[in-house]
Structure 1
Amino acid sequence: MNIDEDTCEWLGCTTPLEMYKHQCALLEDEISDLQRHLAKARANVAGLVHMNDLLIAGKAAAEEQLRSISSQLSLANVHSSEQSKEIMGLKIIASQNSHLRVENQRLLLELTVLRGPQP
């Protein structure tokens, strides 16, 4: 009786070569799956880079528009300030006109009283 005889085949156990082949097949499946995931991730990154480029361009356009509108608003504020000064001047003139009209009426009344009744 030979005790050194390999008995692993008797019970349906796989040989080392079969285990290596099976391990290689598993690794090949895992590598192909990883390659699919990597390709998908690269496509996602490319999409994100494209979206980022669009956002940067949109941001630049919005900043330019903001500068333009800020400039226009500044000019409108200057114009409004000038008109406000004109309005204040006109109000002062109107007030003076009203005061002079009242004073003129008062002086006319005094003159009429001093002259007396006209025949």
Structure 2
Amino acid sequence: MTVAPLDIEDTSDWLGCPTELETITHYNRMLENEVQELNLQLRTARENIFGLVKMHGEACSERDSLRAEMTKCKAALRDSNRAATDSETKHSWEMMANNKLVSELCARIKELTGKDALTGRQ
């Protein structure tokens, strides 16, 4: 069933019904407002991104400096451990040499005097 164009009621002159131009103008304003809002959101997002990029750069710089400091600390620790081990080894050798010397001297005293140098007995 088709409707003849003359049977369609013309509502363009009714009160409160916008004309086609008013409808298009209203839609245009809505789109402009939406574009402005999106531009504002885009600007804010860009500022946030630039802030995050700056923070990332600062964090990377701090990380790199802390890594360098940690490497220096590890090297200093290795050097300290090596020095402590060397000192401990030297001390052990000196103690062994002193013990050997004391034993030899005690044996020599016992040989010469007949007395045990540590206990004083014969």
The answer to whether structure 1 residue 17 and structure 2 residue 26 are counterparts is no
**Could you give the per-residue CA deviations for residues 93-112 of structure 1, whole angstroms, max 9, x where no partner exists?**
2332443454355445526x
Say which is worse superposed, 87-96 or 72-81, in terms of deviation: 87-96
| Amino acid across the alignment from 1:62 | L
Question: What SS is found at the alignment partner of 2:52?
Answer: helix
**Could you give the per-residue CA deviations for residues 37-90 of structure 1, whole angstroms, max 9, x where no partner exists?**
111111111111111111121112111112211221121122111101111112
Q: Aligned partners of 1:5 and 1:110: how far apart in 2? A: 146
Identify the residue that residue 103 of structure 2 maps to in structure 1. 99
Identify the residue that residue 30 of structure 2 maps to in structure 1. 26
Listed as ranges, the gaps of 5+ residues in structure 2 are 1-5, 116-122
Higher relative contact order (CA 8 A, sep 6+): 2
Listed as ranges, the gaps of 5+ residues in structure 1 are 112-119
Q: Aligned partners of 2:68 and 2:19: how far apart in 1? A: 73
Greater per-residue helix proportion: 1
Q: Aligned partners of 1:57 and 1:98: how far apart in 2? A: 61
Runs of 4+ in 1 over 6 A off after TM superposition: none
| Identity between Structure 1 and Structure 2 (%) | 24
The answer to whether structure 1 residue 59 and structure 2 residue 63 are counterparts is yes
TM-score, with normalisation over the residues of structure 1? 0.76
